[in-house]
Chain A
Amino acid sequence: MLAPINWIREFVDFDLTPDELAHQLTMTGLEVETVDRFRPDFTGVKVVRIVSSQPLPGHPDLSLCRLDHGGKGAAEVVCGAPNANMGLLTAWVPPGGRLPDGETIKSADIHGQPSEGMLCSPAELGLSTDPSRIIAIDEDVKPGADLVEALDLADDVLSIALNPNRPDCLGIYGIAREVSVITGSRLRRPDFKVRESGPPATDFSQVRIDAPDMCPRYVLRLISGCEVRPSPLWITRRLLACGLRPINNLVDITNYVMMELGQPLHAFDLDRLEERRIVVRRAGPKETMTTLDGAEQKLTEELLVIADARQAVAVAGVMGGEASGITDRTRDVLLESAYFDPGTIRRSAKFLCLSTDSSHRFERGVDIEMTPNASARAAQLIKRLSGGKVATGMIDAYPRKVKTATVRYRPQRASAVLGCHIPWDRQRRILKSLGFSISALQDGAAQVAVPSYRVDMDREIDLIEEVGRHYGYHRIPARLFAGVDIPMKRTATEMMRERLTEFMVGSGFKQILTTSFVAESNWSTFRAGSGDRESVILRNPMSIEQAYLRPSLVPTMADVVRGNLNAGLPDLRLFETGAVFGPSTVGQLPVETEKIVALITGAAQPPSWTYPGRPVDIFTVKGLVEGLMEALNVTDIEFNPGETPDWAHSSSLDVISGKVALGSLGELSSRWLDGMEIGEPVYFFDLTVAALVELAVQRPPFSAFSRLPSAKRDLALIVPDDISAGRVNTLIRAAAGDRLESLVLFDYYRGRQVESGYKSLAYSLSFRDPGRTLTDGEIDPIINSLLAELKQRHGIRLRS
């Protein structure tokens, strides 16, 4: 909402600078975003008086005017306007001045006569639509004055970000009411008196409301014998400051009154209405009409229209029709001032994708008691500016009285909610100046009647807010905690997320956050679960590439890998924790699961001069998961080749602990990476956070350890290829007994040094006894029986 300050001053006096006013309004709930100096878009234009005007010889349609411009000497200008007569006070653009269209005026030579600058029509200066004559200034101003100053064309304009609950401030008068509460000055009512004459309005036209729920009130006035012409400057300058384009006096007046009072108005050309009457009804099933913007609208029965005897002539509250609007030839005007049901207008505006100044106000709720006053105000102005006659009385169809609320109000409750004792007298004064009627206090409560323009209030709490905002939020003290103490609890998921983040960051990973949206191709590649795709597809995505909720963190994270690689940033170690979405049955929420996913590319260690670079491989991610499990005290964990999805390499492994599936790890398939335009191997792990929460041991019981020395033995074994390293591990542990403290594979070899069909595995075994120091004599038999067992039952022998 744009509010020129001089317009506000018409209704209330105040002694505040524009910035002070803006601040006060902001602090009481009307947020002023900017204060802009509005100036018409021209420069250097001056007030001049034509001191003589003679026809230009040989060109009777042009006059040579001598101008008094307040300075030394007179300027001479050639002008073609019919009103360029001696004595006229008008506007002159001297050479160097600039017009709104950007043209800089120069001295010219017209038919041999030098012409210094030009005299302007209001249209040339963008002040109104009148191109036919040059500006005639009625005000008492001196030649030489700046036109903008002299005619008060500039103003400070408040740009107010109005909340949807305050339609009462969608008119300057409503804003002035707030200012009057702030400053304590009296609010001046606009002049609603109109001199009527001739036969009653009902003789000219009639109204029938077929849908009273959608249109509780419809007021018409008739003004006959109007002359359509450009509006005077005092109207157009205000419309311009509010960002509205002047059109003609009739249309401009409806806009002017709407800006002033917040009540949208519409002017019909009476002669263009079939049978000169109005029917307010739902649109017919296949009805169409052309709106003022030239668009042909297909209507439905959900929409309310204003019709004449034959057809729809306006979409009620949204936009008028081309066929019934004001034209240059309009004589008799039928002026509509109505109250439409807000939901109805919102439906129409949404359906037609048309948001207008009118629909914006109606869908928030206008003041139903303002309709006759706004009608009178506009009729009065039309009479004054078009020379028409206002028919006696108005047609006021008011089938549904809209009741205003009366609220039981407890001043003590207000103090309690606001946390600050505010005396009743202060509260009462605030409510009163906002227009509420208040009864005497009885049993600690008053009956407060809400004025019709405050459509947002019908409860005690609404009134408490009014009192609070005008009492001043800055006066409310700050306090910490009134009630009993509430124990703070942390959830297991919250703590797990923190442990995971600590582990990953500590392991050199960067945490990333990626979008939740993927393209269909990625959705189908990664989909998990068998529900309906409708449950994870957006109806109104930003783009087709972002239409699905992500089924996995991998694809959006891979986008980040590609982005960094393309920027020349290699060696990526990235992780993300976040929700993925599985399909569900229609009508149910998608299945949300929190995941932690890591992606790795490039070198296993940061580049260094001390050792050669080694690339990451599947054992990097496997080791990472093993390390993570160790950190979370999860001991029983298996890595099994599982069913490999399209996006993963066949070496990928499922991570399982007992019956709990934790997720998977491995390498992204090169085919999928090709599709993603990633040219490097990328390794991943993808684990479910809830499974980690289930398995992690938060507080493992302490187990005592032996302080006696350990005994170490290294064994290099020749193992048949068909026995896996994991199996050898299990066999050794089983055979070595419970004094085996640790078992580490420190070498793995296949190649020429070992006969084919076999591989070499070298282990370091460490033994310890809780009670005494182990001697060679005790270790040797263990090793010997271990080797015998491996050799006899599994064909594994010691490497010689």
Chain B
Amino acid sequence: MADLENRLNQLKQEALAALAQASDPEELEQIRIKVLGRKGALADLFRELGNASPAQKPVLGQLANRIKGELATQLQVREESISSGAARGIDSGIDPTLPGVKPWVGRRHPLMAVSNEICRIFAGMGFSLVEGPEAEFDYYNFEALNFPPNHPTRDIQDTFFISDDILLRTHTSPVQIRTMESRRPPLRVIAPGRVYRSEATDASHASVFHQIEGFYIDRGVSLADLKGTLIEFVHQLFGPDIKLRFRPGFFPFTEPSAEADILCIICKGTGCRTCKGTGWLEIFGSGMIDPAVFGYVDYDPEEFTGYAFGLGVERVTMLLYGIDDIRLFLENDSRFLSQF
């Protein structure tokens, strides 16, 4: 009866080998019929088992059943692996070096990503977002911001004109006036958007670019509050080791005005090409809103004071990512976009 035992084991080996080589469901089905089917090889051996001695019958019976179970399991495993398609590579098992099936990977434009990040930081400090039109009246872009007509302060910003009194906004500051006209203090507002200057384009100048304006008007607002807000922002965006430096500046719609520089994020103040050796980077224009501006919107400057600040999104983005040419932003080369 050792013969039957041998034949059972042999059948098992042959069946396992056949299963391993099978590459599609049809082959598997044929193996199943040939080995496990009602008229298959295993069934034949079970029939022969009837002739075995009573002592051996239970032993061989157990063996035959175990083999039947093993083969059934193996068959199922192979079925699953073949039907899942994973067996297509190399016949035995999976080739892990085959590339996965990737989805298309989308990207945010770096300017939008940074603009959102900046707005999110200010939102965390209680600033609400307000937007205004890109084509704007001279009144909002200049006059109500205390740029007198026929005055050299207007030369600071080269302007695209549509008509005598309609232009493309040269900064996001007109949103200040529009907001103040329709609301009363206290106000804490952030206004991102696209702005335009009729400037020749080069690696650091664009005629279409993006700014973010912020302002806060209430009783008792002072330059110290402006300083505190900008320092907090700089720490959140650039890191707590980046210092902020205030120095006097000039904007027609703020008085006193301040330029706010940050410690150069590249060299941390020792001087490098990015900061032109100064150790500092000019980031914000800011100041206390000029009482003359309040005059245009009928706020009492004795009751309310406010600060305003603005920053260029392109400049900040270029610093954060080390981008050296502003023209890359509107060129939208895939190889550029894929990096952010």
Whether A541 contacts B160 in the complex (CB less than 8 A), given A346-B151, A480-B232, A564-B334, comes out as yes
A-B contact pairs, 19 of them (CB 8 A): A29-B247, A29-B249, A346-B152, A419-B227, A420-B223, A461-B256, A461-B290, A480-B229, A482-B225, A486-B188, A507-B104, A509-B106, A513-B109, A513-B112, A535-B166, A542-B198, A567-B335, A586-B163, A589-B166
Residue pair B224, A419 in contact (C-beta under 8 Å): yes
Nearest A residue (CB) for B137: A589
Give CA–CA (A418, B249) in the complex, Å. Answer: 15
Is residue A54 contacting chain B, with contact meaning CB distance below 8 A?
Answer: no
Residue pair A482, B150 in contact (C-beta under 8 Å): no
Is residue B55 contacting chain A, with contact meaning CB distance below 8 A?
Answer: no
Give CA–CA (A419, B200) in the complex, Å. Answer: 40
A-B interface, 6 closest residue pairs, ranked by CB to CB distance from nearest: A508-B104, A419-B224, A419-B222, A483-B218, A29-B248, A163-B250
Question: Number of contacting residues on B, CB 8 A?
Answer: 89
Q: Mark B181-222, 1 if CB is under 8 A from A, else 0.
A: 000001110000010101011000001100000001011111
Whether A465 contacts B104 in the complex (CB less than 8 A), given A416-B220, A459-B291, A488-B127, comes out as no
Q: How large is the interface on A (under 10, 10 to 19, 20 to 34, 35 or more residues)?
A: 35 or more
Q: Distance (Å) between the CB of B134 and the closest chain A CB?
A: 6
B161 contact from A417, A488, A539, Cβ within 8 A: A539
Which has the most chain A C-beta neighbours within 10 Å: B111, B151, B224?
Answer: B224
Give CA–CA (A647, B151) in the complex, Å. Answer: 46
Nearest B residue (CB) for A594: B131
Give CA–CA (A212, B102) in the complex, Å. Answer: 79
Whether A589 contacts B333 in the complex (CB less than 8 A), given A513-B111, A573-B104, comes out as no
- Residues in B neighbouring A419, C-beta threshold 8 A: 222-225, 227
Residue pair B208, A364 in contact (C-beta under 8 Å): no
Give CA–CA (A493, B132) in the complex, Å. Answer: 12
Nearest B residue (CB) for A600: B104
In addition to A416-B220, A419-B225, 12 A-B residue pairs with Cβ atoms within 8 Å of each other are A418-B224, A465-B255, A468-B223, A479-B228, A491-B131, A501-B108, A508-B106, A513-B332, A515-B208, A516-B208, A539-B161, A567-B334
Residue pair A486, B126 in contact (C-beta under 8 Å): yes
Nearest A residue (CB) for B334: A569
Main secondary structure, interface of B, reads mixed
- Residues in B neighbouring A487, C-beta threshold 8 A: 126
- Residues in B neighbouring A753, C-beta threshold 8 A: none
- Residues in A neighbouring B85, C-beta threshold 8 A: 610
- Residues in A neighbouring B323, C-beta threshold 8 A: none
Residue pair A490, B225 in contact (C-beta under 8 Å): no
- Residues in B neighbouring A464, C-beta threshold 8 A: 255-256
B162 contact from A483, A498, A536, Cβ within 8 A: A536
Q: Distance (Å) between the CB of A356 and the closest chain B CB?
A: 14
- Residues in A neighbouring B194, C-beta threshold 8 A: 516, 578-579
Q: Which of A's residues lie within 8 Å of B, judged by CB? A: 26-29, 31, 163-166, 342-343, 346-347, 363-364, 416-420, 459, 461-462, 464-465, 468-469, 473-474, 476-491, 493-494, 498, 501, 504-517, 534-542, 549, 560, 563-564, 567, 569, 572-574, 578-579, 581, 586-587, 589-590, 592, 605-606, 608-610
B112 contact from A31, A501, A509, A587, Cβ within 8 A: A501
Whether A609 contacts B332 in the complex (CB less than 8 A), given A481-B225, A484-B218, comes out as no
Give CA–CA (A569, B116) in the complex, Å. Answer: 28
A476 contact from B116, B163, B198, B227, Cβ within 8 A: B227
Residue pair A478, B221 in contact (C-beta under 8 Å): no
Main secondary structure, interface of A, reads loop
Whether A469 contacts B248 in the complex (CB less than 8 A), given A486-B126, A486-B187, comes out as yes
Whether A479 contacts B225 in the complex (CB less than 8 A), given A417-B288, A606-B104, comes out as yes
- Residues in B neighbouring A490, C-beta threshold 8 A: 123, 128-129
- Residues in B neighbouring A506, C-beta threshold 8 A: 106
Is residue B338 contacting chain A, with contact meaning CB distance below 8 A?
Answer: yes
- Residues in A neighbouring B305, C-beta threshold 8 A: 416-417
Nearest B residue (CB) for A416: B222
Nearest A residue (CB) for B335: A569
- Residues in B neighbouring A589, C-beta threshold 8 A: 133, 135-137, 166
B residues 93-138 in Cβ contact with A at 8 Å: 98-99, 101-109, 111-112, 116, 123, 125-131, 133-137
- Residues in A neighbouring B256, C-beta threshold 8 A: 417-418, 461, 464-465, 468-469
Whether A488 contacts B332 in the complex (CB less than 8 A), given A163-B249, A164-B156, A579-B194, comes out as no
- Residues in B neighbouring A498, C-beta threshold 8 A: 116
Is residue B320 contacting chain A, with contact meaning CB distance below 8 A?
Answer: no
Is residue B258 contacting chain A, with contact meaning CB distance below 8 A?
Answer: yes
Is residue B155 contacting chain A, with contact meaning CB distance below 8 A?
Answer: yes
Residue pair A476, B223 in contact (C-beta under 8 Å): yes
Whether A476 contacts B246 in the complex (CB less than 8 A), given A416-B220, A549-B135, comes out as yes
Nearest B residue (CB) for A539: B161
Residue pair A477, B224 in contact (C-beta under 8 Å): yes
- Residues in B neighbouring A590, C-beta threshold 8 A: 135, 162
Residue pair B152, A343 in contact (C-beta under 8 Å): no
Is residue B16 contacting chain A, with contact meaning CB distance below 8 A?
Answer: no
B160 contact from A538, A587, A592, A605, Cβ within 8 A: A538
Whether A482 contacts B127 in the complex (CB less than 8 A), given A501-B112, A592-B134, comes out as no
Q: Distance (Å) between the CB of B99 and the closest chain A CB?
A: 7
- Residues in B neighbouring A511, C-beta threshold 8 A: 106-109, 112, 337
Q: Which of B's residues lie within 8 Å of A, judged by CB? A: 85, 98-99, 101-109, 111-112, 116, 123, 125-131, 133-137, 150-153, 155-156, 160-163, 165-166, 168, 186-188, 194, 196, 198, 200-201, 207-208, 216, 218-225, 227-229, 231-232, 245-250, 255-259, 288, 290-291, 305, 329-335, 337-338
A465 contact from B109, B125, B248, Cβ within 8 A: B248
Residue pair A513, B163 in contact (C-beta under 8 Å): no
Whether A504 contacts B106 in the complex (CB less than 8 A), given A469-B256, A541-B160, comes out as yes
Q: Distance (Å) between the CB of B110 and the closest chain A CB?
A: 9
Nearest A residue (CB) for B338: A510
- Residues in A neighbouring B223, C-beta threshold 8 A: 417-420, 468, 473, 476
- Residues in A neighbouring B207, C-beta threshold 8 A: 542
Residue pair A540, B198 in contact (C-beta under 8 Å): yes
- Residues in B neighbouring A608, C-beta threshold 8 A: 99, 101-102
Nearest A residue (CB) for B282: A31
- Residues in A neighbouring B102, C-beta threshold 8 A: 606, 608
A587 contact from B127, B163, B259, Cβ within 8 A: B163
A493 contact from B131, B134, B335, Cβ within 8 A: B131
Residue pair B186, A478 in contact (C-beta under 8 Å): no
- Residues in A neighbouring B134, C-beta threshold 8 A: 516, 579, 592
Residue pair A563, B129 in contact (C-beta under 8 Å): no
Residue pair B152, A563 in contact (C-beta under 8 Å): no
Q: Distance (Å) between the CB of A351 and the closest chain B CB?
A: 11
- Residues in A neighbouring B109, C-beta threshold 8 A: 510-513
- Residues in B neighbouring A476, C-beta threshold 8 A: 223-224, 227, 246
Give CA–CA (A462, B150) in the complex, Å. Answer: 21
Residue pair A27, B247 in contact (C-beta under 8 Å): yes
Give CA–CA (A589, B133) in the complex, Å. Answer: 9
Residue pair B227, A479 in contact (C-beta under 8 Å): yes
Give CA–CA (A488, B162) in the complex, Å. Answer: 35
Residue pair B330, A513 in contact (C-beta under 8 Å): yes
- Residues in B neighbouring A515, C-beta threshold 8 A: 208, 330
- Residues in B neighbouring A538, C-beta threshold 8 A: 160-162, 168
- Residues in B neighbouring A609, C-beta threshold 8 A: 98-99
Residue pair B333, A540 in contact (C-beta under 8 Å): no
Residue pair B337, A510 in contact (C-beta under 8 Å): yes
B332 contact from A504, A512, A605, Cβ within 8 A: A512
Q: Distance (Å) between the CB of A747 and the closest chain B CB?
A: 21
Residue pair B106, A534 in contact (C-beta under 8 Å): no
Give CA–CA (A459, B227) in the complex, Å. Answer: 24
- Residues in A neighbouring B128, C-beta threshold 8 A: 486, 488-490
Nearest A residue (CB) for B196: A516
- Residues in B neighbouring A494, C-beta threshold 8 A: 129
Residue pair A535, B162 in contact (C-beta under 8 Å): yes
Give CA–CA (A530, B305) in the complex, Å. Answer: 44
Whether A484 contacts B186 in the complex (CB less than 8 A), given A419-B224, A510-B106, comes out as yes
